[in-house]
Amino acid sequence: MSLWFFLSDWFAGVPTLGVLFKRFMINGAWASIVLFVMIFLQLPAECAAVVYFGVLVVNGVMAFVFLRQRVQMRE
Q: How far is CA 59 from the centre of its chain?
A: 4
Q: Is 35 exposed, middle or buried (0-12, 13-18, 19+ CB in 10 A)?
A: middle
Residue ranges per structural domain of the chain: 16-74
Give the model's pLDDT for residue 18.
Answer: 81
Give the model's pLDDT for residue 11.
Answer: 60
10-46 tens-digit pLDDT = 666 666 788 788 888 888 898 999 999 999 999 999 9
Q: Please tell me which residue, 1 or 62, carries the higher pLDDT value.
A: 62
Instruction: Tell me the pTM.
Output: 0.70
